[in-house]
Amino acid sequence: MSCKRICTMQDLSCVGQCSLTVALPILSRYGVETCVLPTAVLSNHTQFDGWSYLDLTDELPNIYRYWAKNGISFDGFVLGYLGKQRLMALAEELFDRFGADGAPVIIDPVFADNGKLYGGFDMDYVRSMAKLLARADIIDPNITEACFLTDTPYQSDHGKAFAQLLATKLAALTPATVVITGVEFDGNIGELIYRNGQSSYVMLPKLDAQFHGTGDIFTSVLAAHYFAGKPLQDCCLAAGQFVADCMRCTDKQAHFYGVNFETQLAK
């Protein structure tokens, strides 16, 4: 794979498999020079019983100042969990000031799942995220996030018809290619890819397990292949297969902690 320099903007959990903790090693393993823009440092991710939180929002302008002084630029961007509306304006500044010509932007909205918003989020945040998605080249919300972004009532049917409805609504918000994750039918689970009115699906057998942080891993693997010039369908297939392999080698009792992705990187 050809080496690109990208910047990933999201939080860092010192313990637990999610966000920068998985994005940095995965992207680096696939040959992508990965620079990080941490938005916060947590003692551990929020599935644990309590956590510390150091907000780094006020430090980002200082980081930008020195990046500008040193002439730093990036070939692309990957955004994960942000958590604060102010960070969205800082994300747009990041694209404008430090993106090389044509630098693609991949955004995983990360604010909801299973029909509910994560703690600390509200509809003002969702509306701000919807505006930020207009700057993206690829977005990969899950079904729940797609519902909130498009003001569509959540329903348990995650099949083709519902995914198609959500995709067309998302396309009205952003020119980005839409990748909706968590689409289910015929015992399979995967992604709907929607671009310019055309749809395709990437499906794999659904496993009887759920783990924290798999969305972050999916986005990281997808981005690594995308920046290497692979077709988006192949990127989604590689990402879905990687996540499934991680799940298979992880004890279900550790579902809150995250998956054992390191063993898959070693292959």
Query: In angstroms, rounded to a whole number, what is the distance separating the alpha carbons of residues 125 and 15?
Result: 26
**CATH number among 3.40.50.10440, 1.10.10.10, 3.40.1190.20, 3.20.20.70, domain 5-265:** 3.40.1190.20
Residue 1 has pLDDT above 60, yes or no: no
> Which run of H or of E encompasses 33?
strand 33-42
Question: Given phi > 0 = left and psi -120 to 50 = alpha, else beta, which region is 263?
Answer: alpha
Q: Is 233 helix (H, G, I), strand (E, B) or coil?
A: helix
d(CA 138, CA 123): 22
State whether residue 53 is helix, strand or coil. strand
Rounded to a whole number of angstroms, the distance between the first and last alpha carbons of the chain is: 16
Q: Give 54-66 pLDDT, tens digit per residue.
A: 999 999 999 999 9
pLDDT, tens only, 159-174: 999 999 999 999 999 9
Selected residue with higher pLDDT from 158 and 109 = 109
Break the chain into its structural domains and give their ranges.
5-265
Q: Is 182 helix (H, G, I), strand (E, B) or coil?
A: strand
For the record, the structure tokens of 135 come out as 């700057």
What's the CA gap between 245 and 228, in Å, rounded?
Answer: 22
Continuous H helices in the chain: 20-29, 60-69, 86-98, 123-132, 143-149, 160-171, 214-227, 232-248, 262-265
The mean per-residue pLDDT over the stretch 21-32 comes to: 96
Residue 2 in this model has a pLDDT that exceeds 80: no
The amino acid occupying position 247 is M
State what percent of residues in the chain have pLDDT above 90: 91
pLDDT digits 0-9 by tens, 40-93: 999 999 889 999 999 999 999 999 999 999 999 999 999 999 999 999 999 999
Whole-number Å distance between alpha carbons of 150 and 167? 9
